[in-house]
Structure 1
Amino acid sequence: MSRLERFQNLLDAIEACDWQDAEMVMSAVLEEARADTPLVPFGHIEDDAEFWAAMATYEELRAYFLACGKRLARRQLGRRGQIRLAQLLFADMPDEDRRAVIATRRSGGAGRQVIQPERHQAEGPRR
């Protein structure tokens, strides 16, 4: 059975349940999934990473991002790897914040200025 067929079967099963029962079961399953670390990848590692990231809480994402970032900073990423990482980090950042990060780095003040992102309340369930 393909992944799409399993997905459709799951949606059909959820739809067939009483909504309160489905909500209780899905909440329990999602909470349990969020409690663990990523499993060993069975397919493409990028797909598994994307799936895990979609299931993770903000705190889990933040913790893993910072830990991975520290490890990546010690590795020789090469010019292309550094550019790709910077593009990902800057992708959703406002121009003003991008300029502040670049100016801090050029002035040698890295680590002295910390830009705190605005925290927003969750806007409904993640998809």
Structure 2
Amino acid sequence: MAGATGADLEGFWSLFNHNLERQAQASRIIDAVLSCDPEDRVLFLETILDQIRPGWPKSFNIDVMEEAGWWADTASTPERKAYMLACYRRLSRTDKEAFLTYITGRAAA
């Protein structure tokens, strides 16, 4: 991991709870990425992410908020940001104001 300090790497490995098998698997992935031509690394990682991301929300015959919650729990950060902004932009002005009031905890004026 280019530019990583010892502390950065130690923090990274602590995410794996010192599980040696998971560390070995993660090392193989990192080695594979670093072995790629630098121009191919991002494409390689995007291809992997595209295959493992949850994609479009699935219906479990539950209410819409539960379904949205499930999807948000499994979506990547870029997916959450993209869908959140796309949905917000399509709200009516009244719904935007209500949404902003809700997320900021401010009482409606």
Shorter-chain TM range is 0.3 to 0.5
TM-score (norm 1): 0.37
The answer to which structure, 1 or 2, has the higher relative contact order (CA under 8 A, 6+ apart) is 1
